[in-house]
Amino acid sequence: MIKLYTAETPNGHKISIMLEELGVDYEFQHIKLPEQEQKQDWFLALNPNGRIPVIVDKDFDDYVVFESGAILLYLADKYRQLIPSDLKGRFDVIQWVFFQMANLGPYQGQANVFYRYAEEKIPYAINRFQGMTRNCYEILNHQLQDKEYLLGDYSIADIANFPWVLIHDWSGVSIDGLSHLQRWLETMLARPGVRRGLDIPIPLEELTKRYGEREQDAAKIGRSILHKSRKD
């Protein structure tokens, strides 16, 4: 049994999608980020960095894994699914997981901060991080030009990148002209495991509604989160 500590974020969705695609037994606990539950002592004992997602493998001496990329690799190895067994194929997949962890995630995360949450709108920062995010999308689009999935077969590389590309509108980044990326998004959304994973920890319909509400009040939410973070 896997215990997942998660929230309604792209990194959280990576792991719920992975678990649903694997079809394994798991349970989840919704960590409420605006209330700073991830900074409480009990959670910091699981992840000293105070971030979701985290898993605890109940079948392996309560082994704890944090960082979404590491969790994807752990689960792929544990269940021997969604990653090739040969060395070349394995690292073909791993490098695209690392691409998301080192490039797409950080750039788009900063695009979200400056475009949505920052009280002061700084055009240079917004344009810089939206542009870097768009560049990542273009790289993914090129990779997908002759493939159904990033490496041909479905893998954790797709699961790592998909939840971030899915929220491109929230980040203010267009995917116009990226036909291969658009087709891949539709292919991913057609997978039952992906749809189920997006409903964890709250239904996607409710999350979509929240994003609409947050668009009207993003700066206020950002100030609240930053204020609470500074106190911890």
The full DSSP string for 138-152 is HHHHHHTTT-SSTBS
Could you confirm whether domain 87-195 is CATH 1.20.1050.10? yes
Contact between 198 and 13 under an 8 Å Cβ cutoff? The reply is: yes
DSSP state of 102: I
Helices and strands (H and E) in the chain: how many: 10, 4
pLDDT tens digit at each of 232 positions of the chain: 999 999 999 999 999 999 999 999 999 999 999 999 999 999 999 999 999 999 999 999 999 999 999 999 999 999 999 999 999 999 999 999 999 999 999 999 999 999 999 999 999 999 999 999 999 999 999 999 999 999 999 999 999 999 999 999 999 999 999 999 999 999 999 999 999 999 999 998 888 887 776 655 554 444 444 444 444 3
Residues facing residue 55 across a β-bridge: 4, 65
Number of CB atoms found within 10 A of residue 121's CB? 10
Residue among 225, 127, 216 nearest 171 (CA): 127
Tell me, rounded to whole angstroms, the distance of Cα 43 from its chain centroid. 20
Domain spans in the chain, listed from the N-terminal domain onward: 87-195
pTM: 0.92
